[in-house]
Every structure is written in structure tokens, then in C-alpha cells.
Structure 1
Amino acid sequence: MPDLDATFLETASRELERQKTDAWLLYDFRALNPLAAHLVGLPEGQKRRYFVLIEPGRTPHALVQKIEVSGWEGWPHRLTSYVGWDEMEAALREMLRGMDAVAMEVSPRDSIPYVDHVPAGVVELVESLGPRVVSSVDLISGTAAQWGAHGHALHHGAAEILARTARTAFELAARAAGLTPEADPGTAAAFDTSDEPTPVTEHDLAEWIRARLRAEGLTEADTIVAVGPNAAKPHYEPRAEGSSTLTADRVFMVDLWGRVAGEPDAVFADQTWMGFLGPAPPADVIAGWDAVVAARDAAVDVIREDPGATGADADRAARDTLIARGYEDAIFHRTGHGIDRELHGVGPTLDSIEMRDDRRLVAGVGFSVEPGVYLEGRFGHRTEIDVYMREDGPEVTPSRIQYNLWRTSES
């Protein structure tokens, strides 16, 4: 049944007043705008255009094509139906009467494609009826991207499960390579796997991780396991046929994510951990690891020190650190993505290169920090943590993050 969450309406009204914007105009057609579809509760969209107007302190108003009114049964707010395009435009004109500015999911020059969902023709239509259209990006940061207290707590639970699973995965990989993992008291302890069979390949270990995350109560969980040159492929997927065996003297990478099952408010956790299957990592492996750790910490420092920091600012800090250490040609991606109830959420990203994300990192939103360097045909490094923006600054998860490259001794 379509509706708008009461908490969302309350925060949207507050944000509209704060930003001095008359209204938020949601538009969708065949789920073209996934944010609107999610907020309204019609994730599959509808076959005809609809609009929903949200004004501070007023009842939301939906404009729906008459043949699809049945799909809005139970809508507790105001609803107007139309048949033809002229009737739709007349009704929309009346809804927007007297307004100077309405927010929609647009992004000038497509600078933030995560929120650029309203076609140019629809913008042209709305502006022809009176108000100018402004981007809803800051409204989204203050509403849909907010974790909320329950989502924040659930994220913490998921983050600790991921951290323990990652450490266990490294210890299993070491066992497969005939090696003994060195202890790292600075990171989470592994699960007990003494009675479990040892995975032999990247794919075997990935399957074990998925099963473990499900067993620990996570859903939408997945992983990347990569060793040696495969770690230089950021989105490598080990297949059942042809994935590498877990053997000695190789860089080891595990990227894993998930959120608590059965909880609609659950926020994802997303982490990447690194190790070396051997006692003595080569100098270039150590140098690459030190570089990504320094870049990660530089991004967090900028966020902590500058209350007005944007995602682009944090990305530049990480990127500049890597470039200063000689890795300019080994940077393949931005520093981080928004995280909420979607793995790649609608809030600010740490990006000044793939996108120009100048959204401020406001309280209540969260994102990953995951700089990486990738030396094709040799190895790659990525370290990934998550950050939640509290009123007093950034909070990092998991509770213990990685500073030392995991390594092993000979059995």
C-alpha cells in the first residue's frame, strides 16, 4: 500500500523549511526514479506518470492517472486523478501555484548520477508551470540517507560480524597454504573453525564466507576473495571453475558486506581486509599497504577536522596521499560510497573524480572509506572501513580497524 513514512514526512518538512524550498516534488514513471518509488512504496513503479507533492506542514498530494488509482488504495493523503496530458498539466499547475522553487531528483550536468532520476523534459514541464526546479540532494541527505538510531545500532552489529569473518577467512587461507597466521590483537578475533574443512580456492573461501554471514544473521551478504594478481582487479569475482588456489607468497584480499536480516531499518556494513600468505611480504607489497592506510586515515582526518567537509574533500585528501607516494596510475576508483539500507546508498559519496560530489557530510549519514591501489598483473591493496557522521564528528566502524598487514609464519 503506498504511503509516506511519518518520520520521513517530519524530517522532510523540517529540511524544506531550513533550506527555504517550497516543496519536494516526487516524480516517477516505471520506477525510473528509484528514490521516489521507494519513498512512496511503489518499488515496481507504475505504467503511467505520477507526482507526489510534499510541503512543510501540509498533507502530501498525489497526482495519479485514473486507470492506476486502484494501485493507490489505502493512500492516506490527498489524491487527484487525471486522464489526459492536458488535465495532468492543469492539475499540476494548480498544485504548484504560488511556488518559487521545488526540489526534484536532478543533478546539474549529471554530477551526482545517484540522484539524477528526473528526465529533462519533466523538469521543463514543471518549470513551465511556474516554479524553478532545484536539486533534492541536500534534502536526501537530511531524510532518506539518514541511518536513524535503530539503523545505526544494527550497523554496529553487522560490522563486528564482518570483522570477525574477515579474520577467520584469512586464517583459513593460511591453513590452506600450509602456513600459521600471526596474531593481530589490534583486530577482531576469528571464529573457531577447528572442526570445519579447509577451503582450497578463492571460490571455496567465498562460499564459506557467504554461509558464515548468513549463519550469523546477515542478509544480502556477499564477498570478494582475491589472491595475488587477482587482488589487482577491484571487482574480481572468483568462479567455481578457474579461481586461484590459496597458496603461499601471495597477497590476500577479502571484501565483504551485509546487513542484519529481518530488520527493514538495518544499515549495511562493508569492509575490506588485507593479508600476505607468508612471513616476509616484499618491499613493494608493504609500501602499497602503507600507502592505502595513510590515504584512508587522511580522508578521515579531513572529515574530523573540517565540520564543513564534503565527500569530494575527503576523496582529494586520500587521492593526494596516494599520488604523493607514487601511485597515481594505480588509482582506479573513488574513495568511498554512501551507505544506508542499500549497500550503495543515496547519501554523499567520497568522490571528486568519477563524480563531483560536493555534498556536505552532515550528521546522520554514513559512507565507506576505501582507498585502493592496483598494480595490474602483480597485486592490489584496498582497506575499507565505514564512517557514521555523529553530531560531534565521524565514528568509524568496526570497533578495531586494520593497521598491520596480516601475515603468517611457516607451519
Structure 2
Amino acid sequence: MQSFAEKLESIQDALRKQSLDGWLLYDFRRSNPLACKLLGLDEGILLSRRFFYWIPVQGEPLKLVHRVEAHHLDHLPGKKHAYSSWRELETQLALALQGKGRVAMEYSPRNAIPTVSRVDAGTLEVIRSFGVEVCSSADLLQRESIWTAEQLETHYYAARVLDSAVAGAWEFIGARLAAAEAVSEYEVQQFIISRFQEAGCVWAGDPIVAVNAHAADPHYTPSENRFAQIQKGDWVLIDLWCKRKEPRAVYADITRVGVADSKPTERQQEIFGIVKAARDAGARLVQERFEADEPVMGWEVDQAVRDVIDEAGYGEYFVHRTGHSIDTNDHGDGANIDNLETQDRRCILPGTCFSIEPGIYLPGEFGVRLEYDVFVHPDGRV
């Protein structure tokens, strides 16, 4: 795993390319998980006081830590200043930022990208009082979502686990129905979880198994006390995600649909076909842009997908963004495929992964979501 000291040179190079004077990372009680992740602060460490870590575009970083927790950033390069009072802290911040112009922080203008907007308004007021312009660190953070070759292998492993688990789930449902035995959404969910456990994987949030009208609720999840039975002829949506239980492993995330019968109805086939065409349109745009060595932003991919569903007359039933970044978290820190909930104007970078998962949700009837993961290789292959 690359140490932060090894990352520092590439971060400072990125600062130069973006005409930034530095990057000011801040946290209070883990209010900024992006900074904690970047700086390698384990979840078990108590962070009860404010800290700042200043990365200048050139030169040595600066650590501003409270004397109660003065050791927390000792694993990072740079000079350390400890403070006790708010006056000491502001004095040290003023000295660090003196003469600086543009400073990156975990801030998003007008909260355009909520996942990046982690620094509170009061702290921004303090930093701006020193005469600097606070800029968004969104493009800097996205670099953290670039996978290594080793991480790509963990993704392939997780994807194989998902494929096996969902195939087993269909067989589990079919066998129960063939034997005239009851089978519920919750039982299928627990079957999938058992496959994850056998494969040495972890997951955040339990898999979605949704039958008929439940499938029209994008994030419906069965539980021990809330579930429906699956019967012959029912429509079933299964959304599942996991990663290998090891440091720096990345997720895989897929959604599949099927019917507990010999064939779907014409209505089900129609909706499935529209969603599949939309999904393929998004992947095609990404592939075409990288083949032409042209940039492509997250919002553009969303719009290409959304146009297909709009033109088919079902736009009002596609109620969420097209996809999300994937890294060590299932919903990662890179560009999202979104021109609905937000307009993500970040470019998709080589070495990153994201989902494409359009859906049409017909209340009271059923829903179709088709999700696969798209990885852009460092050489631009999609």
C-alpha cells in the first residue's frame, strides 16, 4: 500500500496543475471522513479535537493538532504545531495561509456535490477571514478512487462472488417453487448473505430482494419482520454488493431481475428492454469518448441514459441518478453518473470504476433496475 509520503509528490503536482496554493484538510469528531480516509486515520482512533493538515503546493506540510491529541498525525510528513486555545489555532492558521490565494477544502459551491461538502460553514468563515479563496477539493479527492492493479483483482473476486450468489438465489427460488414449498424475500436475502460469508466477503447494508410492487421501491429491503412471499409468476429484483475482507479491497455491485415463471409478460419484457437499452447507451458513450481520447463527465453519461428512458415515455419513473463511484466504499468518492440529483461535472478518470444502473419503477406494479460496473483501465480501455 502506498504511504502518504509517497502520495505527497503526486498531490502537489495536482495542486500545481489546478493552480491551487495548497490543500487544507480539516476534521472535528470525524465530521470529514474524506480527510480521515486520505490521511490514514484508523476508525479506532479517538478524534475529539479539531485538527488541520496543510499541504502546500510546494514544500513541507504543516500539522495543527490539539495538545490533548498531539500524536494523531505523527505518521504523516510535515512540521507539527500543537495548540490549546482557539486563539493559538487561529494564529497558526493565519501564519500558514499568509499570502496564499486559492486553497482547496472539502467544500462544494452551492452544495453541488454533497458527498464532498464536509467542512462546516463556520470553519469556512474562519479560513476566508484570512483573505484566501476556498475552492473545492472534489477533483483532488477523485484521485483517491483510482484503483491499483491489486485492487482491480479484488473487484474481479467480488464480482465472481456476486455472480455465483445471484445464480444460486435463482436456483434456490426455483427449487422451492418446484417443490411447492414457501419461499420469502427474506429467506433469499439470507441465502445470499450466507454465500458472502462463505467467500470471506463483507458488505455494507443487506442485499435487496424485492418482489412485484416492492421492486418499484428502489431501496426496499426485506427484514426478519417485513417480507413478502415469492410465488409462481412473480417478478423479482435482486440488488447485491460486497467486497473481499482485506485492506484496500474494492466493491462490486450488481442488480438483476427475473420472473418466477417460464417467461415474462409483454409488459415486463417491454420495460426490461427500455432499461437495457438505456444502460447500454451510457456504457457506449463512455467507450466512445475514451476511444476518441475525449473527456466525459458524470452528468453527460447520466443524460445519455436518461434520454433513452425519456424518449420511451417513462422519464417520470426513473427517479434516481444513473450510477455511483465505486472504490473501497460501495458508494465511492469519484465522479457519480448524475444529472438528476446533482450535476456531477467531474470527469471520469482512467483507473476508476462506477456503476450504470438505470431503472423504471411503476408504483403498485413492479420495477426494473439493471446494474453493472464499468471500469476504465489506465490505458483508456473500458
Is the TM value for this pair above 0.5?
A: yes
Identify the residue that residue 36 of structure 1 maps to in structure 2.
35
Residues 233-242 or 30-39, more deviating:
233-242
1:34-81 per-residue CA deviation (whole Å, 9 max, x = no partner) reads: 111222233466222211011245332111122221444555532101
Identify the residue that residue 26 of structure 1 maps to in structure 2.
25
Q: Which amino acid aligns with 2:83?
A: Y
State the Cα distance separating 1:121 from its structure 2 match.
Answer: 2.2
Q: Which amino acid aligns with 2:116?
A: V
Measure the CA separation in 2 of the matches of 1:130 and 1:40.
Answer: 26
Identify the residue that residue 230 of structure 2 maps to in structure 1.
246
Q: Which amino acid aligns with 1:20?
A: S
Measure the CA separation in 1 of the matches of 2:25 and 2:226.
Answer: 47
State the Cα distance separating 1:348 from its structure 2 match.
Answer: 0.7
Q: Which amino acid aligns with 2:14?
A: E
8 Å contact kept, 1:105–1:116: yes
State the Cα distance separating 1:273 from its structure 2 match.
Answer: 0.7
Measure the CA separation in 1 of the matches of 2:182 and 2:5.
Answer: 48
Identify the residue that residue 146 of structure 1 maps to in structure 2.
146
TM-score, normalization by structure 1: 0.86
Identify the residue that residue 8 of structure 2 maps to in structure 1.
9
Measure the CA separation in 2 of the matches of 1:349 and 1:51.
Answer: 28
| Change in CA separation of 1:100 and 1:157 when aligned onto 2, cut-off 3 Å | same
Matches for 1:87-98 after TM superposition, within 5 Å:
87-98=88-99
Among 289, 297, 309, the residue aligned to 1:310: 297
Among 192, 196, 203, the residue aligned to 1:209: 192
% identical equivalent positions: 37
| Change in CA separation of 1:147 and 1:199 when aligned onto 2, cut-off 3 Å | farther
Which ranges of structure 2 fall in alignment gaps of 5 or more residues? none
Aligned to 1:141, what secondary structure does the other structure show? helix
Residues 308-317 or 162-171, more deviating:
162-171
Matches for 1:279-358 after TM superposition, within 5 Å:
279-306=262-289, 307-358=294-345
The answer as to 2:162 corresponding to 1:162 is yes
Q: Spell out structure 1 runs of 4+ moving beyond 6 A.
A: none
8 Å contact kept, 2:323–2:354: yes
Measure the CA separation in 1 of the matches of 2:189 and 2:10.
Answer: 40
Identify the residue that residue 77 of structure 1 maps to in structure 2.
78
Aligned to 1:244, what secondary structure does the other structure show? coil
Q: Which amino acid aligns with 1:158?
A: A
The answer as to 2:234 corresponding to 1:235 is no
| Change in CA separation of 1:199 and 1:118 when aligned onto 2, cut-off 3 Å | farther
Matches for 1:373-388 after TM superposition, within 5 Å:
373-388=360-375
Aligned to 1:115, what secondary structure does the other structure show? coil
1:77-100 per-residue CA deviation (whole Å, 9 max, x = no partner) reads: 321012222221121121122322
8 Å contact kept, 2:215–2:236: yes
Measure the CA separation in 1 of the matches of 2:316 and 2:75.
Answer: 55
| Change in CA separation of 1:101 and 1:370 when aligned onto 2, cut-off 3 Å | same
Q: Which amino acid aligns with 1:159?
A: A
8 Å contact kept, 1:288–1:373: yes
State the Cα distance separating 1:4 from its structure 2 match.
Answer: 6.3
Measure the CA separation in 2 of the matches of 1:234 and 1:227.
Answer: 12
8 Å contact kept, 2:297–2:345: yes
Aligned to 2:118, what secondary structure does the other structure show? coil
Q: Which amino acid aligns with 1:238?
A: P
1:253-305 per-residue CA deviation (whole Å, 9 max, x = no partner) reads: 111100011x2111100000111111231111001100111111111111122
| Change in CA separation of 1:331 and 1:64 when aligned onto 2, cut-off 3 Å | same
State the Cα distance separating 1:327 from its structure 2 match.
Answer: 0.9
Q: Which amino acid aligns with 1:84?
A: S
**How big is the alpha-carbon RMSD for the aligned residues of Structure 1 and Structure 2?**
2.1
Measure the CA separation in 2 of the matches of 1:297 and 1:379.
Answer: 21
State the Cα distance separating 1:243 from its structure 2 match.
Answer: 1.5
Which ranges of structure 1 fall in alignment gaps of 5 or more residues? 180-197, 396-411
8 Å contact kept, 1:300–1:394: no
Q: Which amino acid aligns with 1:236?
A: Y
The alignment covers a number of residue pairs equal to 374
Residues 7-16 or 336-345, more deviating:
7-16
Identify the residue that residue 101 of structure 1 maps to in structure 2.
102
| Change in CA separation of 1:177 and 1:317 when aligned onto 2, cut-off 3 Å | same
Aligned to 1:52, what secondary structure does the other structure show? strand
Among 258, 277, 283, the residue aligned to 1:275: 258
| Change in CA separation of 1:117 and 1:4 when aligned onto 2, cut-off 3 Å | farther
| Change in CA separation of 1:101 and 1:45 when aligned onto 2, cut-off 3 Å | farther
| Change in CA separation of 1:318 and 1:75 when aligned onto 2, cut-off 3 Å | closer
Residues 236-245 or 109-118, more deviating:
236-245
8 Å contact kept, 1:331–1:374: yes
